[in-house]
Chains A and B, each alone.
Chain A
Amino acid sequence: AQKVTQAQTEISVVEKEDVTLDCVYETRDTTYYLFWYKQPPSGELVFLIRRNSFDEQNEISGRYSWNFQKSTSSFNFTITASQVVDSAVYFCALYRGGADGLTFGKGTHLIIQP
């Protein structure tokens, strides 16, 4: 069975601080895919990034960066110089391939205070 754990239920930081959201996953598959989604207060789910299990290269996109480490089964997400607009619930998800859907973590509610 697959499992995604986001141990941080809620994080609150002051604007311009850096913040890291943790994601730990469990799977027996050797090939799998990891995702991060953002859910702003308006409620929609916005895709942020996808990473394949055979590609451990870290990625930076503007103020966002992702650190994928297979050795620790982690796929952490860092926001640099946070902004109030980053306030949202962030979900990490795992996909094993095939017809199954994504397995989601319970989400981390990120609050950026001005």
Chain B
Amino acid sequence: NAGVTQTPKFQVLKTGQSMTLQCAQDMNHNSMYWYRQDPGMGLRLIYYSASEGTTDKGEVPNGYNVSRLNKREFSLRLESAAPSQTSVYFCASRDGQVNTEAFFGQGTRLTVV
């Protein structure tokens, strides 16, 4: 039972490079999310997708784009990485019902040098 799978687990980028973080869930959940975690800041929502074909900005969307490719997959793209985007990124998914918890992937540790 894989749950939420993120790739890669670690990545080092040079400033200005681009990359896509991949996320897939096998729980048939409608909603998917991307968070970033920085020391002392907790988790902050970057983007979310309530259902296939829809995406919305969260608290800290600048510098990112997302794609909800299908119900299973939700990718996060950094077009031109900056050192301020050094962080741990978590993908999560939820059943569409309100009374349910979010399930998280194992995280991607990204360093931009």
Contacts and interface: CB of A to CB of B under 8 A. Distances in A.
Query: Does A pair with B?
Result: yes
A100 B50 CA distance: 8
Interface residues of A, number: 25
Interface of B: 31, 33, 35, 40-45, 48, 50, 54, 56, 58, 88, 90, 92, 98-104, 106-107
Interface in A84-114: 91, 95, 97-107
Closest 6 CB pairs of A and B: A99-B50, A45-B104, A106-B42, A104-B42, A101-B45, A104-B43
B32 to A, nearest CB: 10
B48 A105 contact: no
Contacts, number: 58
Contacts of A62: none
A106 B44 CA distance: 9
Contacts of A95: 98
A104 B104 CA distance: 14
Contact of B42 (A44, A47, A101, A105): A105
Contact of B43 (A50, A91, A98, A99): A91
Please indicate which of the listed interface residues A91, A99, A106 has the most CB atoms of chain B within 10 Å of its own CB: A99
A100 B48 contact: yes
A91 B42 contact: yes
A45 B90 contact: yes
